Structure formats: C-alpha cells, structure tokens
Structure 1
Amino acid sequence: MNDTLTVALVQQACGATREENLAESIEAIREAVDNGAELVLLPELHLGPYFCQVEDTDNFDQAEPIPGPTSETLGHLARELGVVIVASLFERRAPGLYHNTAVVLEKDGTLAGKYRKMHIPDDPGYYEKFYFTPGDIGFKPIQTSVGKLGILVCWDQWYPEAARLMALAGADLLLYPTAIGWNPDDPEDERLRQLNAWITVQRGHAVANGLPVLSCNRIGHEPDPSPNSRGIRFWGNSFVAGPQGEFLAQANAEERRVMIVEIDRARSEAVRRIWPFLRDRRIDEYGGLVRRFLD
C-alpha cells in the first residue's frame, strides 16, 4: 500500500426520491475520484429522507436485499472508477426481518463485506427499533485493497466498546455513516452542546484507539411526516480526525461538500508507540463491562 490514503466524505442532503439521491451520490463519487479519492464514504441511509421520524409500515417498502439493486449499481461504479465505496442501505434480509446495513464495494466491483448496525435507538424522531433488527455480524473489520475498515453506523458512534472492538480486531480506520441533527425547537446553547458532544466522543475514539476516524453526516431540514414535531435539521459537520483526535478536515452545518482528505498511514503506528493504550489495558479487571450495571 501507499504511505498515504486519500479518502472522501460525501456530505449531502437527501431528497424525496431514491433516483435523485442515488444520482447525487454517484455524481459526488465521480467528483471524489477526479480529486484522487481511493475510498468514498456516504451518509447513513442516503437514498431517501430519514423515514424513522415516524412508525409507518409502508416505509418497509423502501428496503432491498443485499446484494441488490443499489449494491449492484455502486459495485459497477466502483469497478468503473477503481474506488472503494462505503454506502448505507435499508436491508431486507427476509420477510419481516430488516437491518440498517453498511456495504463495502471493492475496487473490482465485488461486495467486500457488510456491517449491520448494532446499537438501535428508540427516541422521539428516531424510532429505529420499529424498523431495524440489531446486527448479528459483530464488530468485524472488512478487508479491502485500501486496508481493514472498521465500519460502524450512527448510534454506534456513542459507544467506546464498539470502536475498541473494531480496533482490537485490526481496523486501520473507523468509519461512521451518520444521520443526526437538531430538534428545531431546541435553543441554540443546547444545539451546540449536542454537536460538541457528538464530535468529542468520536475524536475520543480516535485518541483511545490510535486510529483515524471518518464521520459522514447528512444536511438539510427534513419535516416530520406526522404532526408531532417540526422535523429534524441535520447538522452536517462531517469530519476526519487523525489518531490523536486532531482535525484533518471538517465541513460546516449547511454545505453540500465532497471533502477530500489525505491520511498518513504510518501515523497510527507512531502514535501507538508513544501512547501505548492497548499495551496497558487491564483486561484482567474488565469483566464488569459485560454486565448491564454494577449494583
């Protein structure tokens, strides 16, 4: 492998139709490759609006099998352009069994692997437990021509255990396709606290594991199909952090952007030598982590 890896994050709004959103993603991937990207990360569930604001059985019609239409389309594109693509899909695994799944398309167009979202939220505006079965693949990095990718999805990004297990399994990068935003009724100071918490926890995963972190979010306001709220304004702020949590690039809250970032592959090894967190872990004392709470 080269000493550096050029990655791209596609920060985009997600409109009403699958065709329009997929076309925009494809255009962005082409733009990324024109600017040297070898790996492209798309936002969570980028083929349409974030439908989990409501519980509606009709939304299951949006799901598709893997392999299926979108993975095949992106696989052909990956082969044409010679790029690794990480996309986020609503997977129909079987009748009545659905997952929030990230797929990795290799440069030759093959499906290198997939990751099924493990942590599933159930909060106002984020009713994902109605739609998604928790993942059963585990925290296993996906081997590609650009390295071992530790794919995690959105709500997974709040859990240090998930990042750690990916690191312990040999991930070279941590990637988080994401759909997260503000409640328009929240005051500005609360919005800022939420955004800073989201950024800080993921930078912490970079530091604790000595790995680059790629976090790709969507943008734009999406109304609530029900009368229960004023919808979600997705806060963008996609970013790439280095293995000491340093910002390598960051978008703002509003811009459609194809963010191109060069990652130094040797930095993780160098940082882990001076900050040997994996060496000093007290694995003999961590048994309590597999319990819900220590009474």
Structure 2
Amino acid sequence: MTQLKVGMIQHACSEDLASNLETTINGIRAAAGQGAQLIVLQELHRGLYFCQQESVDAFDLAEPIPGPSTEALGALARELDVVIVSSLFERRAAGLYHNTAVVLERDGRIAGKYRKMHIPDDPGFYEKFYFTPGDLGFEPIQTSVGKLGVLVCWDQWFPEAARLMAMAGAELLIYPTAIGWSREDDPDEQERQRQAWITIQRSHAVANGLPVISVNRIGHESDPGGGEGIDFWGTSFAAGPQGEFLYCASTDEADNAVVTLDLARSENVRRIWPYLRDRRVDHYGDLLKLYRD
C-alpha cells in the first residue's frame, strides 16, 4: 500500500461521556464515508481533559484495555473496515494508570498499544499525578495499513521519540494530542506557542523523512480548581516527509478531515536526504546523559 487515506477527528468534549463517544463515532463514520482507511482520534477523547487539577476522583474515569471503549471502537473498526487509533486513560491495576494509545485493526482486534513515555507536570497539565510513564518503549505497531509510529502529545516535543520510531521502521508518525492556550498569556505569546507546536512536529517529518499526523481537540474547558481553564487550539494537521502541509484544520471548529498520504514518497525523500545514512552514532554517547555538566 502506497496511497493511504487518513481521517483526523477533531472536536470539543464535555462531561457527558456517552455524548463524547457518539461524537467520536459520528466522526469516524464520516471519515470512513470519505474513504479513510486509517482514522486517528485526539488524546483522551472520551471526556474532558481532567489533568487541570489533581483529584483522586478522576481515577474513576480510567478503564482497562481491553475494555468498554476498545470493544465499542473495535466493533466499529470491523463494521467500517478501518484501522482506528484511540487514546484512553488505562487502568492497568489498582494505583497503576497510563495514558495509552491503542490501535484497533480492521477486524476489530487490538493490533497494539503505546503507553505515553514523556509525562508533563505543569500548571493545568498535572499528568504526573495520574499517569505512570510508559514501559513499552518506542515500538511501531504493525497494521494492515502500515507500520504506525504512535506517540502521545508531550512526546511530540522530543526528537528522540520520533527518531527511535523511525529507526524501528515506522512508516508514519501519529500524535493524538490535547494542548491549548492559557488565557493568562497575551495573543502574541499564544500564537508563538501554537506555531512552535506545529514547527516541532513538522521538523520530525523532515528529520526522519516520514509523514506526520497530529490530532488535537477544540473548545474551552474550565478548570474545576477555579483557574482560567484551557482554550484548546485544534489545528489538527498532516505533513508530508519534507514537512509540507497536506492539511491543517481550524483552531475552533470540529473537523472530520481525510487526507491522502503517499507513503512511497518517504523512500524518495530519504534518498535525497539520507539522514539515517549519515548519523554519527559513534559520537552520540552523551545523548544518554540528562545534561552535560
């Protein structure tokens, strides 16, 4: 397969989990109706981004994998003959939780999962309270539509994660995301942040000669702790292996876009820009250090 149609489901979320699932399913159906073979959902699409505060009650939102969401999405994948990348709050055991992306194959089975490796802990993004860092490494997931390098949100800022996925044979990089603006920042700073987010992911496409799919949510979500909340900036996008935009959604509208990737271009681009050939692995030992003092 060289031509791959990818659906990107961007939408707002509410406290109503059933309504969110219905919105997600409707988006998947719309993308499948446009010919999508692979459909990517945004990070933690079942509900609100609960990490704005630290609350033990939020652990009730977690579910096992396999579990209710993978059963529902697996049945839909089988019905529509599509591969789905979902993002879930995984309950692995009592007191052990992960931010996990799971891939549903076209026959409904779980093709594989990725547990978020880089866990942020910043105002409004208190993820270290909820998520144990992943233990599955940076391993692409083999599917009927290709070898998927699935990462999650904060992972998108780390070139090491993208490189390791590429080195393991990923054919595209996928980033389910939940990121937005603080209302305490002025418009110029907000736009600098959004552009930095776009640029770093396009750079992963360039540096690895691979397409990138990034799917974010939209809408304002208030902070239960009384803060300003987050305005999620949408901008779900697809980039080709030279970082070129193939599609970019708006900052504030729901979107069920479908974009066509030419996976054969990665081979051609890597022949022109052979980064993997010219890597000096004999001099990269210091990358294993946290910092060079």
TM-score normalised by L of structure 1:
0.99
Deviation at 1:88, TM superposition (A): 0.2
Q: 2:128 matched to which residue of 1?
A: 129
Code of the aligned partner of 1:48: G
2-structure distance, mates of 1:162, 1:17: 33
Tell me the CA shift for residue 290 of structure 1.
0.6
Gapped runs of 5+ residues in structure 2? none
Which residue of structure 1 lines up, in the alignment, with residue 230 of structure 2?
232
Match of 2:111 in 1: 112
Name the CA distance, whole Å, in 1 between partners of 2:110 and 2:209.
Answer: 28
Structure 1, unaligned runs of 5 or more = none
Structure 2 Cα separation of the partners of residues 30 and 252 of structure 1: 21
Matches within 5 A, 1:47-126: 47-126=46-125
**Distance between the aligned counterparts of 1:155 and 1:64, measured in 2?**
22
Give the letter aligned to residue 257 of structure 2: M
Q: Structure 2 CA distance, aligned partners of 1:129 and 1:90? A: 13
Matching of residues 1-295 of structure 1 within 5 Å: 1=1, 3-227=2-226, 229-295=227-293
Q: Percent identity?
A: 68
Give 1:264's aligned amino acid: D
Q: Displacement of 1:265 after TM fit?
A: 1.4
In the TM superposition, residue 255 of structure 1 has moved relative to its aligned partner by 0.8
Instruction: Write the letter of the residue equivalent to 1:287.
Output: G
Distance in 2, matches of 1:189 and 1:230, equals 18
Kindly provide the amino acid, as one letter, of the partner of residue 73 in structure 2.
Answer: L
Shift of 1:46: 0.5
Quick one: which amino acid aligns to residue 48 of structure 2?
A: P
Report the CA distance between 1:289 and its aligned residue: 0.4
SS in 2 for 1:162: helix
Q: Secondary structure at the match of 2:42?
A: coil
State the alpha-carbon separation in 1 of the partners of residues 58 and 15 from structure 2. Answer: 13
Shift of 1:15: 1.1
Aligned equivalents of 2:286 and 2:79: distance in 1? 49
Secondary structure at 2:5 match in 1? strand
Q: Deviations over 1:206-251 (max 9, x none)?
A: 0000000000000000000012x21000000010000000000000
Residues 101-158 of structure 1, C-alpha deviations (whole Å, 9 max, x = no match): 0000000000000000000000000000000000000000000000000000000000
* Secondary structure at 2:118 match in 1: coil
The alpha-carbon deviation at position 99 of structure 1 amounts to 0.1
RMSD: 0.5
Give the structure-2-normalised TM-score.
Answer: 0.99
**Residue 70 of structure 1, CA deviation:** 0.2
Read off the aligned partner of 2:258 and give its amino acid letter.
Answer: I
Deviations 1:182-209 (A, max 9, x none): 0012100000110010000000000000
In the aligned structure 2, how far is the partner of 1:22 from the partner of 1:56?
Answer: 23
What is the DSSP-based 3-state SS (H/G/I as helix, E as strand, rest coil) of the residue aligned with 2:7? strand
Q: CA deviation at 1:17?
A: 1.3
Aligned length: 293
**CA deviation map 1:57-78 (0-9, x unaligned):** 0000000000000001100000
What's the CA shift for 1:16? 1.1
